[in-house]
């Protein structure tokens, strides 16, 4: 039975990675602007929105699209940057009963829930807890495999990537979720993204290099990026497309609000299995 539970844990961890992947590729948006972004050169408009994204401390958003090796996904999430916290519900539409995953990041612990389907495989408990400070001790289950290294990442980082493009252009004006916006688009390679880090401060370089590394691991060489900017010079919607080793990447994130309180609570202990204890028990049973 414990070996089966361990296998279930690995499948749930993989689901977490899909959800965390969907996090990457967004810009922080604001829904209060009444008009599209003021008229200015496309590159300047994108740079201003990217600069504003750096000051965001919390946000809510929806996501939809395709991710490599998972197919169609959609979901919704709320995230606090300071202090780090996150709540996400995501569905991999092509994965059937195993496609629904909920993730919560609270007090340096990540919880992954699979609802009733997971409860059937884990003695009635529907959540798995990962202590992020302890992850990586077992080489067979490291943070990268779990997606834990991405789960607490600020999606606003990717909004700055369009500033690395040399061909940003204005596509037109559109209304997104009731907000008037200006639509911009550009192509950017990973080499251009890395070159754009020149002159940035150490903290900014570290954050952006971490995001760039994700695309490198996916086998993405370049991205087509779209950004919809509102009248307050914030990104309201963001889309990223690219070809990865395991399939197409095409994610659209629409932001609902910014800088409003985000409260995330841990699941009830009675419904939670601690991965560290699970792995310890499984190791003992196999020895």
Residue 259 vs residue 36, higher pLDDT:
259
Q: Say if residue 148's pLDDT is above 60.
A: no
Q: Which domains does the chain have, with CATH numbers?
A: 2-286 (2.50.20.20)
| Chain centre to alpha carbon of residue 274 | 23
Which helix (H) or strand (E) segment holds residue 249: the answer is: strand 247-258
Query: What integer pLDDT is reported at residue 145 of this predicted model?
Result: 40
Of the candidate ranges 33-42, 96-105, 107-116, 227-236, the one whose mean pLDDT is the lowest: 33-42
- Length of the chain equals 287
Confidence of residue 119 (pLDDT cuts 50, 70, 90): low
pLDDT on residue 189: 93
Q: Is the separation of the CB atoms in 120 and 8 below 8 Å?
A: no
For residues 190 and 220, the answer to whether their CB atoms sit within 8 Å is: yes
The token pair at 9 is 């844990």
Per the DSSP assignment, residues forming a β-bridge with 274 are 129
Higher pLDDT, 75 or 276: 75
Q: Which residues contact 182 (CB under 8 A, 6 or more apart)?
A: 36, 37, 45, 170, 172, 173, 228, 229
Going by pLDDT thresholds of 50, 70 and 90, the confidence category of residue 139 is very low
- The CA-CA-CA angle for residues 126, 128, 131, to 5°, reads 160
Assign 22 a pLDDT band (cuts: 50, 70, 90): very low
Percent of the chain with pLDDT over 70: 71
Say which range, 57-66, 121-130, 145-154, 184-193, has the weakest mean pLDDT: 145-154
């Amino acid at each position: 039975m414990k070996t089966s539970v361990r296998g279930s844990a690995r499948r749930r961890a993989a689901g977490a990675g899909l959800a965390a992947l969907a996090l990457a590729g967004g810009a922080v948006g604001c829904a209060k602007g009444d008009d599209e972004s003021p008229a200015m050169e496309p590159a300047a408009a994108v740079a201003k929105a990217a600069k504003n994204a750096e000051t965001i401390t919390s946000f809510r958003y929806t996501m939809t699209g395709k991710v490599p090796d998972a197919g169609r996904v959609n979901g919704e999430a709320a995230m606090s940057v300071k202090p780090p916290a996150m709540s996400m519900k995501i569905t991999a539409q092509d994965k059937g009963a195993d496609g629904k995953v909920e993730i919560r990041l609270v007090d340096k612990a990540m919880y992954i829930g699979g609802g009733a389907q997971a409860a059937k495989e884990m003695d009635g408990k529907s959540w798995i807890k990962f202590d992020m400070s302890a992850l990586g001790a077992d080489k067979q289950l490291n943070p990268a495999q779990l997606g834990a290294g991405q789960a607490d990442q600020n999606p606003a980082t990717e909004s700055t990537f369009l500033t690395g493009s040399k061909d940003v252009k204005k596509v037109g004006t559109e209304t997104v979720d009731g907000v008037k916006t200006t639509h911009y688009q550009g192509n950017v390679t990973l080499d251009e993204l890395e070159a754009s880090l020149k002159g940035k401060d150490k903290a900014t370089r570290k954050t952006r290099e971490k995001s760039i590394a994700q695309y490198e691991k996916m086998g993405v060489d370049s991205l087509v990026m779209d950004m919809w900017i509102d009248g307050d010079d914030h990104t309201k919607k963001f889309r990223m497309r690219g070809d990865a080793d395991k399939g197409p990447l095409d994610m659209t994130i629409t932001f609902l609000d910014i800088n409003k309180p985000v409260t995330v609570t841990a699941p009830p202990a009675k419904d939670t299995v601690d991965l560290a204890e699970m792995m310890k028990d499984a190791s003992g049973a196999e020895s």
